[in-house]
Structure 1
Amino acid sequence: MQGLGNDFVVFDGVRQQIEVDAALVQRLADRRFGIGCDQILLVEPPRSPDTDFYYRIFNADGSEVEQCGNGARCFARFVRDQGLSDRTVIPVGTAAGAIRLYLEADGQVRVDMGAPVFTPSRLPFAADAETPDATYPLDIAGKIYQIGAVSMGNPHAVLLVDDVSTAPVATLGPLLEQHPRFSRRVNVGFMQIVTPAAIRLRVYERGAGETLACGTGACAAVVSGRQRGLLAERVQVTLPGGTLRIDWAGQGQSVWMTGPAVRVFDGEIEH
């Protein structure tokens, strides 16, 4: 499946038992010797009575992560297409907490991503204290970069750039991803503000490298831009793979993400 080119191998772990380890994930994600994907998604039975499913996400390097926005939309489409659910509102448990997935009449999927978290220790991010606009100076090889730090169930560092086309994603992305102040690594967003209602974004994802789209990265970028007083409540986010709509009313409110989810093909692989 794919959401704006952010692609996934999705497994039904409800009707069959699937054991996933790092070696299996790495083989499946390999684009030459496996199936090829940015992440593996695993649909499991619910772990709490107020959800219908549990949602697990594995990056291409085999690491398991807390949240994935584009994957959440694909998750919703998958459980409907596979006959696992006939609901248009689907509550799902994740390692970052429960989310709700809404299948819209036009085929888009809207996701309640929950309220963003700014407390540094919860990202986790090493900082003496939380700042009012959630921005912090970060030293990379003697050069200071101002980043916005926010969690959407997974950690994000957001940088403002003049033009995403020339942003140093390939070089600065991995340095920020593994910066020692982010003890569990971090997703890195490079954000260009076009208007208060429109941004361009590229994301270097933790454990996957640059992807064509990142749903939680889009949410984090809009939240960070709003915290800095630069963006409106509803923002169109243009990523290399397409466009998402992000809505955030402000502090303590849920972030809403709306976008497509597409099944590319079904198949089997021996392991």
Structure 2
Amino acid sequence: MQVWKMNGAGNAFAIFDARQQGFAPSPDKIREIAAEMKADQVMSIEADEGATAFLRIWNSSGEEVGACGNGTRAVAHLLLEESGVDEVRIRTAADLLRGLRADNGLVTVDMGRPIMEWERIPLSEKMDVRGVDVRIGPMDKPYLAKPAVVSMGNPHAVFFVEDVDAYDIPAIGPLIEWHPLFPEGTNVGFAQIIDRETIRLRVWERGAGLTKACGTGACAALVCAARANKTERRAKLILDGGELIIDWQRSDDHVLMTGPVELEMTFDV
């Protein structure tokens, strides 16, 4: 079985080619692979009769999840290079996504429409998703409050802050990740609006911790920012590991994510 170590804007992945043989690791094995390969997510490419491939995704903590934007871009790159075509279709547990070649060696994934209905994100109770009742700090004067929430195939809570580097994200992230409002947990974004076309973003990923980049997190931040009229519907997202361009299209409401991918190594097991 071929294995690739890749990253997308610094978001690191261990990718197994399971199209010809089974790959059913236990949660302990996933944690072992992630630690050994220093991967934020472990993924397997599997055969799918209705798409180019099925992509199975595990966070480094061992649980299987439905979406990983940068990981999907990395796998799209592998499939595009393997086939020589300009578009591939990748099925995940969350959706059927399109991967496309972009200019300058970049890769685009059409992440579909954002999910904004509270029960589908999901939340444990009905709330206005533009600012839910979550607070960090004293109840009468919290230093973080009212994150916007959205799902990009996985749930995200986005705080808009003046200075993203002023917060102890490893300390704050776990408090939000498994807050009772999020029955399936949530990713936690800290977004600083630079201008209407630029966002600085750091993300505490559900089941992975603070990562150098999070593709679905970048999509979520842009959607929440544009919905609040803080930015345009297309912006550059500056993450710790690199930059992504997120375009929330007016024509069909789909979110396109474009960015770099890097192959670090490949080997057989």
Give the TM-score taking structure 1 as reference length: 0.91
What does residue 121 of structure 1 align with? 119
- Identify which range, 248-257 or 226-235, moves more after superposition: 248-257
Q: Contact 2:79/2:88 (CA < 8 Å) preserved in 1? A: no
Matched ranges for 1:1-271 at <5 A: 1-30=6-35, 34-46=36-48, 49=50, 51-81=51-81, 83=82, 85-129=83-127, 131=128, 134-140=130-136, 142-143=138-139, 144=142, 145-250=145-250, 253-268=253-268
SS of 1:267's equivalent in the other structure is: strand
SS of 1:266's equivalent in the other structure is: strand
State the Cα distance separating 1:174 from its structure 2 match.
0.8
Distance 2:133 2:30 in 1: 35
Q: CA RMSD in A?
A: 1.7
State the Cα distance separating 1:44 from its structure 2 match.
0.5
**CA distances 1:170-212 after superposition (whole Å, capped 9, x unpaired):** 1111100010110010000000000010010000000000000
Count matched residues. 260
- Identify which range, 21-30 or 193-202, moves more after superposition: 21-30
Q: Contact 1:190/1:201 (CA < 8 Å) preserved in 2? A: yes
Distance 1:112 1:29 in 2: 27
- Identify which range, 140-149 or 100-109, moves more after superposition: 140-149
**CA distances 1:126-162 after superposition (whole Å, capped 9, x unpaired):** 2324x3x622121446545111010000000000111
Distance 1:40 1:134 in 2: 32
**Structure 2 vs 1, CA of residues 252 and 77 (structure 1 numbering), >3 Å: closer, same or farther?**
closer
SS of 1:263's equivalent in the other structure is: strand
Give the TM-score taking structure 2 as reference length: 0.92
Q: Contact 1:161/1:167 (CA < 8 Å) preserved in 2? A: no
Letter in 2 for 1:179: H
Distance 1:167 1:102 in 2: 36
Letter in 2 for 1:106: N
Letter in 2 for 1:170: P
Distance 1:160 1:250 in 2: 23
Unaligned segments of structure 1, at least 5 residues: none
Distance 2:130 2:146 in 1: 10
- Identify which range, 168-177 or 155-164, moves more after superposition: 168-177
Distance 2:126 2:153 in 1: 22
Distance 2:74 2:255 in 1: 18
Distance 2:37 2:220 in 1: 29
**CA distances 1:210-267 after superposition (whole Å, capped 9, x unpaired):** 0000000000000000111111021000000011000113596000100011110012
Letter in 1 for 2:147: I
Letter in 2 for 1:28: I
Unaligned segments of structure 2, at least 5 residues: 1-5
